[in-house]
Amino acid sequence: MSLSDQVVLVTGAGRGIGQAAGELLAAAGATVGIADIAGDSAQDVARQIRDRGGNAVPLAADLATERGFADAASELARCCGRIDAVINNAMWIRYEPIEQVSTETMDRMLAIGLKAPVWGVQALLCHRDAARLASVINLASPAADQGYANTAIYAAVKGGVVALTRALAVELGPQGIRVNAVAPGAVPTPGARAVVDAQGYEMRKNKTPLRRLCTEQDVAQAMRFLLTPEASFITGEVLHVDGGISVSAG
Ligand SMILES: NC(=O)c1ccc[n+]([C@@H]2O[C@H](COP(=O)([O-])OP(=O)(O)OC[C@H]3O[C@@H](n4cnc5c(N)ncnc54)[C@H](O)[C@@H]3O)[C@@H](O)[C@H]2O)c1
């Protein structure tokens, strides 16, 4: 199924990696749902895509709630007839020492990071055309595999996302639904810059074998690939887009 034939819901697409994904997929001909709790940002991104001739639907929603996700997905399906793919990208990123972690922080990270991808898959099952192939892309992280101080909850969420990806690939494969993840290296997005300072980025760059940071476009291009017919036999995979940092012992 070519991209120009797909309706793709991208969560957290009001900025950062999700915005880049929405823009790149729309440029490749997909119709994209730009979903974000920041409704103004979703509107702006969708407007910019449409100004360039693409197809985009802004969806203002708190996707951490089952109802919020379901309503946003219904709106997209009402506009476009169906949903072919969901990119579970939205996240609220917090790094802090374990003794400072509150119930509120943990609940918020788990709700958007781990529960929302489940709502995303349920939305796809509800609004897909069963005669067509469908696809899910989750956002993992090197933090799922490697220990970084002060990131325990984030790491636990991303470890859960990887486990979810593999289990759902097996469960949904017979229905023609592929489930993959991308694991980006360090991308200095607005959300990430709130928890990583300039020194932290310098350290990550120097530890990366390809000696540069990851960009939003690097990640969006990997997502685009996973949605093309060329990736039609790839499922249950975690595609690392990180310049080699996850395989480096140094
Ligand atoms: N930036 C990195 O270095 C990096 C590295 C590895 C993985 N990731 C993952 O990539 C994804 C995107 O990260 P980013 O750096 O672009 O983040 P970001 O914080 O810049 O953007 C996240 C977006 O999600 C939205 N969002 C948050 N909570 C929401 C909610 N409840 N409902 C709807 N939208 C909500 C925000 O408004 C924001 O627009 C995340 O899953 C993140 O964990 C990022």
State pLDDT tens for residues 56-115: 999 999 999 999 999 999 999 999 999 999 999 999 999 999 999 999 999 999 999 999
Q: Tokens 């169906």 belong to which residue?
A: 82
Answer yes or no: are the C-beta atoms of 142 and 151 closer than 8 Å. no
The CATH superfamily assigned to 3-185+216-241 is NAD(P)-binding Rossmann-like Domain (3.40.50.720)
Measuring from atom 25 of ligand 1, which residue has the nearest CA? 12
Q: Which residues line ligand 1 (CB under 6 A)?
A: 11-12, 14-18, 36-38, 41, 62-64, 89-93, 112, 139, 141, 184, 186-187, 189-192
Q: To the nearest whole number, what is the mean pLDDT of the chain?
A: 97
pLDDT the model gives residue 51: 98
- Tell me what the mean pLDDT of segment 124-134 comes to: 98
Q: Which residue has the higher pLDDT, 190 or 249?
A: 190
Q: For the sheet containing 177-184, what is the strand order?
A: 55-60, 31-36, 7-11, 85-88, 134-139, 177-184, 238-241
Contacts of 54 (CB under 8 A, 6+ apart): 23, 26, 27, 32
Task: Give mean pLDDT, residues 176-192.
Answer: 98
User: Is 58 in contact with 34 (CB distance < 8 Å)?
Assistant: yes
Binned at pLDDT 50, 70 and 90, residue 250 comes out as: confident
- Does residue 249 have a pLDDT over 90? no
Q: Confidence class of residue 232 from pLDDT cuts 50, 70 and 90?
A: very high
The residue contributing the CA closest to ligand 1 atom 11 is 89
The residue contributing the CA closest to ligand 1 atom 19 is 191
Cα of 131 vs centre of ligand 1, distance in Å, is 32
For 209-235, what is the mean pLDDT? 98
pLDDT single digits (tens) 16-58 = 999 999 999 999 999 999 999 999 999 999 999 999 999 999 9
